[in-house]
Structure formats: structure tokens, C-alpha cells
Amino acid sequence: MHNIPLAIILQIFGSFCFALAARYQNSAIRREVRHNQSRHRLKSSQLLASLKNPRWWQGMGLMGISLACQITALFFAPVSVVQPVGLLAFPWSMILQARVAHRRISKNEISLVALTVVATGIFTAIVSIYATPESELTEWKVFVGALVIYLVAATFGGLGAKGPQYWRSLFWGSGGAMFYGLEAALVRTLINFARQHNWLDNPLFWGILACLIIGSLTAGWMIQQGYATGQAEMVVASMTITSPVVAVCYGIFVLGEGQNFTWGVALAVAACGLIAIAGVVALSHIKAHQPVIVDTSDIPQVSSTEKPA
């Protein structure tokens, strides 16, 4: 059963929950690394200390709601339609973080956000019109597609740990987003697989499920590293751009959702994707030179700002 409007509504609500979750978890993580001016990665002891903060668990609960909305939406629409709608978490996050910092969003930021949202909106509209709801799965494509994404995500994780200080948060967030984008695609893969095969006694189904669980845990860890090295809205930005691109590419090349694409449609989708990515990169440059603001209303005698190195 396919119901694209319902899937989009679910994903819009989930995107707000995701942005709010990022705000809460960023607040908890930044409390532990507020002197991390060199933007080193989060230590295990700091992560464990963050788990004692109720805000972190509030964020986890909201993340669960967001995930539930996304998984439910994937039952009603292709991954290449559902995942790009999650970009709305980006402007939600910008608004929430501006309220925390008690400042107005600059005109340049508004322009870049608008550019990114419009580009992704057109991207979603084109894909939703031309995407193929379901096609026969090819096992080797599933394996190769997942392997490529894992390798690229690992590379981004290395850049997050050792790369330029200003870009570490973006690298961590993008690496985690690749895993999240793959997770959404794997959920859709499992749904298609269950519809087409006797899945209970098929090792491929359980192998995909294992990758789904491992990837989710790895993505969560990388996102916490992103919070430790930068601002929540930039982590959300990197995730909401990278994740849809990964999911759509997987949907097109692995799940066969792009069978109806002509060269013109493919070029239009690629152009919109590149514009959206350029908008996030430009925002990253702006944010890298702003103080890291944290909601510290529950943290007595702690400065709410931290100058970047």
C-alpha cells in the first residue's frame, strides 16, 4: 500500500522531533566538553557522564519518535521520497538554536537555508513523481552499495577525528548521516525483501538486519562526536543533507527506484542535490566563526559560550 502524502506528513513531524532531539543532546554533550576548544573527539568518560543528564535521554526519546515516524513512512512511500523530507529538521534546528542564543538569524543564514530547503524541495518533488515504488532486489547490489557507504562514512569519521578543527563537526555529522541514510535504505530493503521472499529462513534478511543495528549504533556514536565538536544545527544540517543524498542514491542504484528517470530528470536531481550541499557547506563556513552556544538553563555557573580555536 502506498500513500505518499501520509508518508510526507509523518516525516515532517519526525523532522521536528529530530531537531528538538539534537538540541537536547547537544546541550548535554556540550556541558561535558565546554572547554574542548581544540574540538577533539568525545572521550568515553565524557559520553558516560552525558548519559546522566536527563536532557540527553529526552533527546533520545525524541529521536525514537523521529525514527518511528521515518520507518512508518517507509511503509507508504519509496526511500527516495521519504528521506529528503527530513531536510526540514535543518530550519527547525536553526530556529531552535537561535532561541537558545537569544539572537536573530542573519540574512545570509536565512538565504542559505532557503536555498537549501528549496533545492531539496524540488529534489523531493521530482523524485516523488518519477520514483519506482518497488522492484526486484539484487543481492550483490545490496552488498556493494552498503560496503561503499560504510567505507566513505569511515573516511569521514577519520576526518572528523583528525581533520581541520573548523570542519570536524561537519565531518562527524556527515559520516553519521551516511550511516543513517543507509539505515533508511536498509529498512526499505527489508520491507521489499519481506514482500518478495520467505524472509524468516533467509540469511540475507538477517544479515541486512545485523548491518542495520551495527550501523545505527555507529551513527549514534558519530553524531555525539559531532555535538562535542560543534553546534547542533550544523550537525543537523550535515545529516539532513547527506542522509537523503545517500538514501536516494541507494534507492536509485540498488533498489531500482530510478528506473523511470530520463537523463533530464537525473541531471535535475543531481543539480538540486549539489545546490543543497553547497548551501550547507557555506553555512558551515559561517558557523565555524561563531561562538558555540549551549542551552545551559539547567547548568549553574557555567558559561554558555565557547570561542572556537
Q: What is the pLDDT of residue 309?
A: 38
pLDDT band at 158 (very low <50, low <70, confident <90, very high): confident
**What percentage of the chain reaches a pLDDT higher than 70?**
85
Query: Higher pLDDT residue, 102 or 21?
Result: 21
CB neighbours of residue 267 within 10 Å: 11
**If you average pLDDT over every residue of the chain, what do you get?**
77
The answer for residues whose C-beta is within 8 angstroms of residue 109's C-beta and 6 or more apart is 94, 283, 286
Distance CA 299, CA 106 (A): 28
Per-residue pLDDT tens digits for 27-74? 788 777 765 554 566 677 777 777 788 888 998 899 889 889 988 888
Top-ranked range on mean pLDDT: pick from 60-64, 141-145, 295-299: 60-64
Q: Where are the domains of the chain?
A: 4-306
Q: What is the pLDDT of residue 289?
A: 59
Q: What is the pLDDT of residue 13?
A: 92
